[in-house]
Structure 1
Amino acid sequence: MTSKAPRVWFIIGSSTGFGRLMTQCVLRNGDKVAAMLRNPAMLADLAKQFGTDQLLVLKLDVTNHQQILDTFAEAGKHFGRIDVVFNNAGYALLADVEGATEEAARAVFEVNFWGAVNVSKEAVRWFREQNKPSGGRLLQTSSMLGFTPDANLPFYVASKFALEGLSESFASSLDGTSRYCIFIQRLISLIEPREFRTNALSSNMDRSQVHPAYAHLPVAASHKYLEGNPLARGDTAKAVEVIYAVAGLPDPPLRFPLGRGCIESFRNQITKLNANIDQYESWSDGLDAE
């Protein structure tokens, strides 16, 4: 990752939002992109602006495992290497726990968790077998909600909690402090953004009816508010520049909270957790085996 040669990025979900802006940022900085999206026509303008030497556009649905394998192979064949994987596919469900159907809830996990897992496995395999000895970088697009839950998006929250746990466990198995480890640099970083201005609420979110038992609770009012697609305050164009910089760090953090709102929420959550531990710490006295 110290080479001055252009890096090759494999960007998932590149049609809109973070993925689209990340693709533009990478190209603007002179790197190369294999852009993955379900509808390649949505990048026709960038494909026209940048030649195939710098931009390769491929169709990918992350719920299709074979497509994941095929697009990695095609991108690697085209560019010769893959240095950074931006694992960015995302899908949300506006629903309460009881109001969502099992089918709708599972669909969130198919994209946000299992899709991300299968991309992660192929990325690490590629870094290990094709990029040796330099490895690569896997940037997992998580969320502020992967650490601080929200009542309106419980299955999205659960999928991000699962992705964070999986990623942290995966990263620890690749930790360069072990003499048996293949990689000497941190391979995986979780990018945890707050709410940024994207079209996620309109293009990548399904909605379920509020369960009657919740109709009089604040969550019902929140649903109506979110259905209006309110603008978040975060500047996504600036955020992707920060993510680009993180990918270039020699030793990036495992977790990267992105945005002041995220940092504040994380600190509040940690404060509550510490207070809970302090209150009930003594209840564990004498439970450990001697």
Structure 2
Amino acid sequence: MKTKKVWFVTGASKGLGKTLVKELLVQGYCVVATSRSEDSLTDAIGQHDNFLPLEMDITSDEAVGKAVQTAIDRFGRIDIVVNNAGYSQIGTLEELSDEEARRNYEVNVFGSLNVIRRTTPYLRQQNSGHIFNIASVGGLVGSFPAFGIYCSTKFAVAGFTEALAVEMKPFGVHTTLVYPGYFRTEFLSSGSVKTAKNPLDAYVLARESEAQHLQQINGNQPNDPQKGAELLIQLSELENPPVHFLMGEDAYGMAQQKIRLLEEEAEKWKDLTLSTAF
């Protein structure tokens, strides 16, 4: 059995989070799992001595604080934090309302910040720990019609994770930004993904992209969540884990394309770029 490190995993009632929690329990870790409903956690995962399911509104800083304190009261510490909770909001920038866009940020960005704000004091004081922020390859490549808002939330996660990594390093706390590709989970199912309340017919490419994701990619994603979960555990056991981690062959391929594009654009416009110097 593994040393009983304590994991704190958000968004754990389905998808990669659920698979991760199940595997952690099999491997003997202690797990605090959160979701909007405690019942959904027990239904998905069951009951275990080392398992603490908690209902938590990730968009409420107070609720997150209470959940973290409950975890500390139960297990005495938190060793590894996985910011996994999030959802995909589909819709072009024009057709999504202010409310729809802000809600995606509340969950995907500010929810993760709430968890970070509430857990880092314990990690810092114990001079150890590991934070996994689950972004998306869409946090590196944003050129998906109808996914601009979602991708921008993941770009935000990438940005603050890079800062977090250097902020926490002096305290012996590792930080890993995970860019998953497409994993075969419920992420694109009707109960998880949200579409625009007022779609506009003019956006043909957006509707095609939406249909492709919901009807063709959903259920046919190339990556296995079980292997993804095992990989996260493997990364947590490394002495020097990566700050940036691409997860999946598709993620690797899209990252390489983005790198080449940036290099080509930088060189193409180099003369103008350098012309601003005194």
TM-score of the two chains, using structure 2 as the length reference: 0.93
Answer yes or no: is the 8 Å Cα contact 2:18–2:45 preserved in 1.
no
User: 2:180 aligns to what?
Assistant: 193
Which residue of 1 is the match for residue 256 of structure 2? 267
Q: Where does residue 140 of structure 1 map in the other structure?
A: 133
Q: How many residues align?
A: 272
**Distance apart, 1:210 and its partner CA:** 3.0
Is 1:29 the counterpart of 2:34? The answer is no
**Is residue 2:194 matched to residue 1:206?**
yes
Aligned 8 A contact 1:36 1:60 in 2 = yes
Q: What runs of 5+ residues in structure 2 fail to find an aligned partner?
A: none
Distance in 2 separating the partners of 1:213 and 1:46:
41
- Aligned pair partner of 1:158 in 121, 128, 152: 152
1:49-69 alpha-carbon deviations (Å, 9 max, x no partner): 412xx0111111101111100
| Secondary structure, counterpart of 1:226 in structure 2 | helix
Give the match for residue 178 of structure 1.
none
CA distance in 1, matches of 2:27, 2:44: 14
**Residues 19-98 of structure 1 aligned to structure 2 (within 5 Å):** 19-45=17-43, 48-51=46-49, 54-98=50-94
Q: Check the 8 A contact 2:30/2:51 in 1, yes or no.
A: yes
Amino-acid identity (%): 27
Aligned partners of 2:90 and 2:193 also within 8 Å: yes
Match of 2:277 in 1: 288
Secondary structure (helix, strand or coil) at the match of 1:94 reads coil
Structure 1 partner of 2:6: 8
Distance 1:280 1:194, change over 3 A: same
Helix, strand or coil at the partner of 1:257: strand
Distance 1:286 1:200, change over 3 A: closer
How much does 1:169 deviate?
1.5
2:168 alignment partner in structure 1:
174
Shift of the 200–284 alpha-carbon distance from structure 1 to 2, 3 Å rule, reads closer
What is the rounded CA distance, in whole Å, between the counterparts of 2:31 and 2:23 in structure 1?
A: 10
- Contact 1:90–1:204 at 8 Å: present in 2 too? no
Deviates more, 1:200-209 or 1:139-148: 200-209
Question: SS at the partner of 1:9?
Answer: strand
Give the counterpart letter for 1:191 in structure 2: V
Question: Could you tell me how far 1:256 is from its partner in structure 2?
Answer: 0.5
Task: Judge which range, 13-22 or 115-124, deviates more.
Answer: 115-124
Q: TM-score, normalised by structure 1?
A: 0.89
Structure 1 gap segments, 5+ residues each: 176-180
284 and 221 in structure 1: CA distance in 2 versus 1, 3 angstrom threshold? closer
Between the aligned partners of 1:48 and 1:219, the Cα distance in structure 2 is 40
CA distance in 1, matches of 2:148, 2:104: 10
Give the alignment partner of residue 218 of structure 1, picking from 197, 205, 211.
Answer: 205
- The answer on whether the counterparts of 1:9 and 1:83 sit within 8 Å (CA) in structure 2 is yes
Letter in 2 for 1:162: A
Q: Which amino acid aligns with 1:138?
A: I
Amino acid across the alignment from 1:105: A
Q: CA deviation at 1:45?
A: 4.8
Structure-2 residue corresponding to 1:184: 172
- Three-state SS of the structure 2 residue aligned to 1:204 is coil
AA of the residue aligned to 2:105: F
Give the superposition deviation at 1:125.
Answer: 1.4
Q: Which aligned pairs between 1:95-114 and structure 2 lie closer than 5 A?
A: 95-114=91-110
User: 1-side partners of 2:54 and 2:274: how far apart?
Assistant: 57
Once the two structures are TM-superposed, the CA of residue 48 in structure 1 deviates from its matched residue by 4.6
